[in-house]
Amino acid sequence: MHVLKNGIFFLLILLLFLTLWSMRGVSLLLNFPFLLILIVPLWIYFRIQQNNQRKAVLLSKEFPINLFFVYMLTVIYVTLEPFHFTPPSLNDGKMNLIPYVQILYQYKYKPPFFWMLYTLGNILLFIPFGLLLPFLYKKRFRAFVILGLAILCSLSIETIQFFFTVDRAADIDDFILNIFGAMVGYFLFLFMRLFARRLLHKC
């Protein structure tokens, strides 16, 4: 319940900020260290609160949680850099909703290195999502939950790129490749778990 209250409070603050920002019509040009200064202290405070409620620090739980947090910071940097934002009212967003257009364009008109960088880059970016998240969520329907969260995460990135960024564009191909990468990561998790169980069984 405490986590839910904190989440609702954060969303209300974010909504208020977006509303005031849109009314003012001011562009924001941020940098990654500045975002780290804002995000990391909030994350540390949140983890301290969680551990105080449990009255114990479980290394087996804190390590994957913080590793996933560092990974998500990496995703933010890769997908939103150079962090030049404008309100939706002033932003002429760019979007491609036709599947495989960007993939085929990169393949036909770009050197092989750029095509590989685009396709494999988008896939590799979300492999840790599907690989790390199962260590944090261990309840029923784990595959569907991870797939849903991957869709939500990638869709959020593309939405931000379309509505708020100046130098980025939303693309359905990015979304498709991201989801594929998350599923590859999840199957890697299943393979690692199966391998570990067989290894322990032999021992």
- 175 neighbors 154 (Cβ within 8 angstroms): yes
- How far apart CA 173 and CA 179 sit, in angstroms, is 10
* C-alpha torsion sign, points 109, 113, 114, 116: positive
Lowest mean pLDDT among 11-25, 131-145, 161-175: 11-25
The phi, psi pair for 96, rounded to 5°, reads -120, 120
Average pLDDT over residues 110-138: 92
Structure confidence by residue, pLDDT tens digits, 146-199 = 999 999 999 999 988 888 888 888 999 999 999 999 999 999 999 999 988 888
For residue 95, list its beta bridge partners.
170
Give 6's pLDDT tier (boundaries 50, 70, 90): low
Total domain count, the chain? 1
Examine the pLDDT at 1 and tell me if it is beyond 50: no
| pTM score, whole prediction | 0.86
pLDDT tens digits for 85-99?
A: 887 656 666 788 999
Q: What is the mean pLDDT of the chain?
A: 85
Q: Which domain holds residue 106?
A: 2-202
Can you spell out the DSSP letters for 180-192? HHHHHHHHHHHHH
- In this model, does residue 20 exceed pLDDT 80? no
